[in-house]
Amino acid sequence: MTDAIRAMYINCTLTPSPGESHTDLLIEASANILRKQGVEVEVVRAVDHALAPGVQHDMTEEGASEDAWPALWQRVLAADILVLATPIWLGDASSVFRRVIERLYAESAELNDRGQSIFYGKVGGVLVGGNEDGMKHVAREAVYSLQHIGYAIPPQVDTGWVGEAGPGPSYGDEAEDGSRAGVDNEFTNKGVTIMAWNLLHFARMLRGGIPTEGNDRNAWEQGERFGFEQPEPR
């Protein structure tokens, strides 16, 4: 059905498929909620795709031997909802997460047919999992970057799981007593639920797009200022 809301999760684990990813478990918890509401969900493991370094649309035109981004970009474009999901290393997101941000950023000069950023009308969120500390730091990077290029950020769309300071199990790891780390964490589970639904609510709300006043960059280029005046010192 072409009218279904589409959601794309980009798993930024460092582990290629079919290796196990703790981040995948978080993604599934979230994606299952959306699937039940008829959302078409796609999960992509970015490290499986040869995303060339660079900030142009197609790095093969700049000399790279291969670049999976142009194909992946079409799928990003087709999705109403984008969720970046990443593990934590040394308190920050993975290099793969960073690579995805770079490639998204490289598209930020693209406009839709209303003169707005090509990302307008889409919504974004972030899932973070680590064995310890760094969830909010990573969420800052994701939420900031997505809104800066044109995604809308519904309320409370950052969540995940981290354990106590120091080495320890990652999300979903089984302990000696058979319990699995994080999976019954009330805070995480509630966060995952709120996030999934708020992404859906906003994706529906934005299906008709965002009004163009103020953000039509073609009009700005042609001299329209939408009421802006240079501030005068007092």
98 binds a second copy (CB under 8 A): yes
Q: Kindly determine how many residues on this chain lie close enough to bind a second copy according to the rule CB under 8 A.
A: 107
Candidates 2-10, 67-75, 77-85, 150-158 — which segment interacts with a second copy by CB under 8 A? 150-158
Q: Which of 155, 176, 178, 223 binds a second copy (CB under 8 A)?
A: 155
Could you tell me how far CA 2 lies from the centroid of its own chain? 22
State which of positions 40-79 bind a second copy (CB under 8 A): 47, 53-55, 63
H or E segment and range at residue 83: strand 81-89
CB of 115 to a second copy, least distance (A): 11
Q: What's 117's DSSP letter? A: B
- Between CA 186 and CA 172 the distance in angstroms is 14
Candidates 3-11, 68-76, 77-85, 178-186 — which segment interacts with a second copy by CB under 8 A? 178-186
92 binds a second copy (CB under 8 A): yes
- Between CA 11 and CA 22 the distance in angstroms is 10
157 binds a second copy (CB under 8 A): yes
223 binds a second copy (CB under 8 A): no
178 binds a second copy (CB under 8 A): no
110 binds a second copy (CB under 8 A): no
What is the three-class DSSP state of 155?
coil
Cβ contacts of 221 within 8 Å, gap of 6 or more: none
Candidates 3-11, 73-81, 127-135 — which segment interacts with a second copy by CB under 8 A? 127-135
Output the DSSP codes for 124-145.
EEEEEEEEES-HHHHHHHHHHH
101 binds a second copy (CB under 8 A): yes
Q: What's 40's DSSP letter? A: E
- Between CA 129 and CA 216 the distance in angstroms is 37
Candidates 2-10, 67-75, 77-85, 200-208 — which segment interacts with a second copy by CB under 8 A? 200-208
33 binds a second copy (CB under 8 A): yes
HSE (side-chain half, CA atoms, 13 Å) at 154: 26
Is residue 163 within 8 A of residue 135, CB to CB? The reply is: no
Q: Which of 5, 10, 99, 127 binds a second copy (CB under 8 A)?
A: 99
Taking the least distance from each CB to a second copy, the nearer of 54 and 83 is: 54
